[in-house]
């Protein structure tokens, strides 16, 4: 029997809601699984939920999320047409960076989500999300941003800065760089 993408994603959501595999379950208000179009060719992945996301159970709804939506609009991508999620599904206390152990305890959910959606491109928002796709290797996002990497199943990973970094460093140059990276990611959708 074949399941639809919606049914498969619902199963992931139910598993996340029951998950106690890492200490982050102790402090979460809501799990934040992800949201968007399951038929998209592009998925955006951040590191983990923040305060607003924890309150609402939705990804990227705080200030960084609003900025992400704005940047997507600028390159002609509608937020509702793409899928947005994080590596870890529960908020790290005080918005600290998730540990490598937490990322790898949770990462199988993200891998399942990507398998269900089967996009051509995954945009890694920030160094932490990128490190997940590089088996935990720490890399300088400044050095590798905009450089697409081949990943499983012929997919491309396109790294760029996390929008919260742009909120802390409001320079026109930085914004231009992120827009270029998003354009690059978009070009792989067309190729795909």
91 sits near ligand SF4 (criterion: CB under 6 A): no
Count of all residues that appear for the chain in the document: 192
Q: Which of 12, 67, 77, 106 binds ligand SF4 (CB under 6 A)?
A: 106
Per CB under 6 A, 24 contacts ligand SF4: yes
User: Strand 149-150 relative to strand 156-160: parallel, antiparallel, unpaired?
Assistant: antiparallel
> Of 120, 114, 106, nearest to 19 (Cα)?
106
Number of other CB atoms surrounding residue 112 within 10 Å: 16
Across the beta sheet with 149-150, the strand order is 35-36, 83-86, 42-46, 121-125, 156-160, 149-150
Tell me the site size for ligand SF4, rule CB under 6 A.
14
Q: Residue 84 in contact with residue 38, Cβ under 8 Å? A: no
| Interface pattern 51-90 for ligand SF4 (x via CB under 6 A) | -------------------------------------xxx
- Check binding of 105 to ligand SF4 (CB under 6 A): yes
How is residue 12 written in tokens?
A: 């992931």
Comparing CB distances to ligand SF4, the nearer of 18 and 176 is 18
Residue given tokens 């208000």 in the structure block: 29
Comparing CB distances to ligand SF4, the nearer of 89 and 145 is 89
C-alpha–C-alpha distance, residues 70 and 81, integer Å: 14
Number of H helices, E strands in the chain: 8, 6
Closest to ligand SF4 by CB, 22 vs 157, is: 22
Please, what is the minimum distance in Å from the beta carbon of residue 82 to ligand SF4?
A: 22
Q: Verify binding: residue 16, ligand SF4, rule CB under 6 A.
A: yes
Stretch that binds ligand SF4, among 24-32, 55-63, 127-135, 154-162 (CB under 6 A): 24-32
If binding is defined by CB under 6 A, does position 112 make contact with ligand SF4?
A: no
Closer residue to ligand SF4 (CB): 24 or 114: 24
Of the two residues 18 and 138, which places its CB atom closer to ligand SF4 in the complex?
Answer: 18
């Amino acid at each position: 029997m074949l399941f639809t993408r919606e049914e498969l994603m619902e199963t992931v959501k139910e598993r996340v809601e029951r998950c106690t595999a890492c200490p982050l379950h102790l402090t979460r208000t809501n799990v934040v699984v992800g949201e968007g179009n399951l038929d998209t060719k592009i998925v955006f992945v951040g590191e983990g939920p923040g305060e607003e996301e924890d309150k609402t159970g939705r990804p990227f709804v705080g200030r960084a999320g609003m900025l992400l939506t704005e940047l997507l609009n600028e390159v002609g991508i509608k937020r509702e047409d793409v899928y947005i999620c994080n590596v870890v599904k529960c908020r790290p206390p005080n918005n600290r960076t998730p540990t490598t152990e937490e990322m790898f305890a949770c990462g199988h959910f993200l891998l399942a989500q990507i398998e269900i959606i089967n996009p051509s491109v995954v945009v890694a928002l920030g160094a932490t999300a990128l490190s997940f796709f590089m088996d935990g290797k720490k890399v300088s996002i400044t050095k590798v941003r905009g450089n697409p990497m081949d990943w499983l199943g012929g997919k491309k990973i396109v790294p760029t800065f996390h929008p919260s970094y742009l909120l802390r460093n409001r320079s026109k140059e930085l914004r231009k760089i992120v827009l270029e990276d998003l354009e690059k990611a978009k070009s792989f959708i067309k190729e795909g």
